[in-house]
């Protein structure tokens, strides 16, 4: 099981259609004021239920490792999770699958990953210096506040920010803060954050594609409490008969951190030569592209079938195939590199031209 967070543009889900209450009548607030309050919002703890339904139009990328495949599963379909967070180092996420449950929890010293379907659990001893241990991609995928911060990091002169109204989320009054990329190089049409009018914590994130009327991603609470969860919430005792594996996270393990599957917007990176297990980010903001090397293996029947239908492109960077969807696009080169992001195919090729060979 992964033990570090995966940074994503949209490493998230969202809840699907729900009956909305009448828009609450809240005092007026400017986009700048609301943005400032969201960026400084802090609560000691919270708990609740998060529901998700995601349609990124994401194709399967055979040749990815098992951990990446597990993470990509979180980016499709409908999911429900019970969550609890307290302080910087305590978190519990229980993902409810069909007739099964995955539990990931940490009290800051020990992390547990449990899969009821497999009847397996992993106990992970965390290094003493770890201030914010992350037990799995689910921690990022089911924390609306963390997801919102990733999109807020993309705000720059190429982003229009506005207050687009109010709504009820999980029974609480919320403002809607809307971010609209001005660049035409991204597949993201807009991102709307439903911001709690009392705590200023994002309760829901909705991502709209540049084309189409249906959300590509939404993430939000269907129920939430801002009471600090009890310490016992983050403890875990494996059921009888469950196979338990114990692991220890090295205090320092360069090059072994979980790589991001998609870039985090707003984090500028200079192109560098990535290793096989460590990607690099080219560009910044909404135009960020991740390059991974050694991930697309030739001779994989499923991948070969997928690429056979994809158009061939070439440039100064070499040649390859373009896989396109409404949100996530990927360029797979003949030398085994993958360029991917929430960007247009043209942007991927431009990034490939900037990447060292």
Pair of tokens at residue 71:
């993470």
Per-residue model confidence (pLDDT) at position 6: 28
CATH 3.30.310 fits 280-354, yes or no: yes
- pLDDT value for 100: 85
Question: Is 60 exceeded by the pLDDT of residue 81?
Answer: yes
Q: Of 355, 292, 333, give the one whose Cα is nearest residue 65.
A: 292
| pLDDT value, residue 149 | 86
Phi-psi region of 161 (alpha: psi -120 to 50; beta: other; left: phi over 0): beta
Residue 342 has pLDDT above 60, yes or no: yes
Which residue has tokens 């800051």?
108
Lowest mean pLDDT among 23-37, 200-214, 292-306: 292-306
Distance between CA 181 and CA 55 in Å, rounded? 20
For position 256, what pLDDT does the model report?
40
pLDDT digits (tens, 9 = 90+) for 253-274: 444 444 344 444 544 444 445 5
Confidence of residue 9 (pLDDT cuts 50, 70, 90): very low
- Nearest-10 Cα torsion for 313, 317, 323, 329: -130
Contact 287, 346 (CB under 8 A): no
- State the burial class of residue 195 (Cβ atoms within 10 Å of its Cβ: 0-12, 13-18, 19+): buried
Please give the pLDDT value at position 276.
53
Q: Whole-angstrom Cα distance, residue 194 to residue 178?
A: 9
Domain with CATH 2.50.20.10 in the chain: 31-248
250: Cα within 13 Å, side-chain hemisphere: 6
- Give the range among 228-242, 249-263, 268-282 with minimum mean pLDDT: 249-263
The pLDDT, as a whole number, for residue 270 is 46
Query: What is the average per-residue pLDDT within 71-98?
Result: 82
CA dist 159 and 180 (Å) reads: 6
First to last CA, the chain: 32
- The architecture of the domain spanning 31-248 is Clam (2.50)
Other beta carbons within 10 Å of 198: 9
């Amino acid at each position: 099981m992964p033990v570090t967070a995966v940074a994503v543009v949209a490493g998230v889900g969202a809840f699907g259609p729900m009956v909305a209450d009448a828009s609450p009548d809240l005092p007026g607030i400017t986009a700048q004021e609301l943005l400032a309050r969201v960026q400084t919002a802090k609560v000691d703890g919270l708990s609740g239920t998060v529901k998700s339904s995601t349609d990124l139009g994401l194709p399967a990328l055979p040749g990815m490792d098992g951990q990446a495949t597990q993470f990509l599963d979180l980016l499709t379909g409908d999911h429900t999770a019970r969550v609890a967070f307290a302080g910087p180092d305590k978190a519990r996420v229980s993902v409810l699958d069909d007739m099964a449950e995955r539990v990931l929890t940490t009290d800051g010293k020990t992390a547990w990953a449990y899969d009821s379907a497999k009847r397996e659990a992993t106990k992970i001893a965390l290094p003493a210096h770890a201030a914010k241990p992350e037990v799995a991609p689910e921690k990022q995928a089911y924390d609306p506040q963390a997801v919102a911060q990733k999109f807020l990091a993309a705000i720059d002169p190429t982003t229009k920010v506005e207050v687009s109204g109010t709504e009820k989320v999980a029974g609480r009054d919320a403002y809607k803060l809307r971010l609209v990329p001005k660049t035409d190089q991204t597949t993201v049409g807009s991102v709307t954050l439903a911001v709690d009018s009392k705590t200023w914590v994002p309760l829901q994130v909705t991502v709209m594609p540049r084309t189409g009327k249906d959300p590509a991603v939404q993430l939000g609470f269907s129920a939430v409490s801002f009471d600090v969860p009890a310490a016992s919430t983050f403890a875990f005792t494996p059921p009888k008969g469950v196979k338990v594996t114990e692991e220890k996270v090295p205090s320092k393990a360069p090059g072994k951190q979980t790589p991001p599957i998609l870039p985090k917007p707003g984090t500028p990176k200079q192109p560098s030569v990535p290793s096989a297990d460590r990607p690099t980010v080219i560009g910044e903001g909404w135009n960020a592209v991740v390059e991974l090397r050694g991930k697309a293996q030739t001779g994989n029947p499923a991948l070969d079938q997928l690429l056979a239908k994809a158009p061939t492109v070439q440039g100064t960077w070499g040649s390859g195939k373009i896989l396109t969807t409404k949100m996530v696009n990927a360029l797979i080169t003949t030398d085994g590199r993958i360029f991917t992001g929430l960007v247009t195919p043209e942007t991927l090729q431009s990034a490939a031209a900037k990447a060292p060979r």
